Amino acid sequence: MTRPFRRIGAPCMGPVPSKPGAKWRKGTAVDMEPGILPKYKVIIVGGASVGKSSIFARLMRNEFNQVPESSVGVNIGMKSIQLEGHPPVVVELWDVPSIPGQDKSSQRLYFDGCHGVLFIYSSADAASLKHVRSYHAALGEVYPNETAPLPSILVKNKSDGVDQPSTDIDDCMWLEAWPSDQCALSAKLNHGVFPALRLLLAHIVGPSASSPSPLPPLSSS
C-alpha cells in the first residue's frame, strides 16, 4: 500500500526550542488501536544534491527523475512494508530539505517523534559528509545521553558513479567511528534502496523481525 505523498511547509529556518531529555519511542508505534498497522516515522536527511528526493521517489513510487527538482518543503509519504517474520508496518517517510551551512540545529524539529533516520551523503561529493555530520550532531541535541541510540543508517548514494572519498582527517575518523550500519546504494539504478529501508526498520522493530540479508554488491554502470 502506497499513499500519495504530500509536501508541507518550508524548511524550518528559525530557532527551535530544544527539548532536554527527549526520548525516542523505541519499539513502539504511533497507532496502537486494534486493526491498525504500527506506524513508524523515518526521516531522510543530508546535504543538497545528494539524492534524498530520488531515494524518496524510489521508495514511494519506484520512480527516478533524471533531472530531480529541488525540494523546498518537506515531502511526506506513507507506505506499508512486510518484514520477514513480522506483521506489516506502515512507514511515514519524511524527505527533509537541506539548508545552507553546517549548522542544522534549526531543523531539530524534524527529529521530534521519529523512530529512525537515513543519513544520506554522496559518493560524488566528498563535502557532503560534513552535512551528515552536522545532522548527526543535531540529532544528539534532541536525544542526548541515550543508552539506546535512535536507529540510524549511514547511506552513501550515487554509488554507480566515480567515488570521491573525503580526504579530511576529521571526516575519515568520524566515518571510521560510525557506530551503526553503513551501506552504499544507487537511487538511479534502483540498487539497495529498499534493502536499506528494511535494514533500518529491522533495527526499529527489534529482534522479533528476522535479520535482513546483506546488500548485494553494486553492479557496474
Residue 23, C-alpha cell as written in the block: 526520548
Model pLDDT, residue 31 = 39
| CA 214 – CA 212 distance, rounded (Å) | 6
pLDDT band with cut points at 50, 70 and 90 for residue 171:
very high
Q: Report whether 73 contacts 110 (CB < 8 A).
A: no
pLDDT at 200 exceeding the cut of 70: yes
The strand order across the sheet containing 116-122 reads 2-8, 74-81, 89-95, 39-46, 116-122, 152-157, 181-184
CATH code at position 148: 3.40.50.300
The pLDDT > 70 percentage for the chain reads 75
- Is residue 220, in this structure, part of any structural domain at all? no
Residue 49, C-alpha cell as written in the block: 544534491
pLDDT tens across 32-86, in order? 444 588 999 999 999 999 999 999 999 999 999 887 666 678 999 999 999 888 8
pLDDT at 110 exceeding the cut of 50: yes
- Is residue 6, in this structure, part of any structural domain at all? no
- Is residue 106, in this structure, part of any structural domain at all? yes
pLDDT at 212 exceeding the cut of 90: no
- Is residue 151, in this structure, part of any structural domain at all? yes
- Is residue 9, in this structure, part of any structural domain at all? no
Model pLDDT, residue 170 = 95
The whole domain housing 121 covers: 30-205
- Is residue 211, in this structure, part of any structural domain at all? no
Phi, psi dihedrals of residue 36, rounded to the nearest 5°: -105, 130
Model pLDDT, residue 2 = 47
Model pLDDT, residue 84 = 86
- Is residue 15, in this structure, part of any structural domain at all? no
pLDDT at 6 exceeding the cut of 90: no
- Is residue 120, in this structure, part of any structural domain at all? yes
- The number of folded domains in the chain is 1
Name beta bridge partners: 3: 78
SS3 182: strand
**Amino acid, single-letter form, for residue 2:** T
Residue 181, C-alpha cell as written in the block: 550500519
pLDDT at 142 exceeding the cut of 60: yes
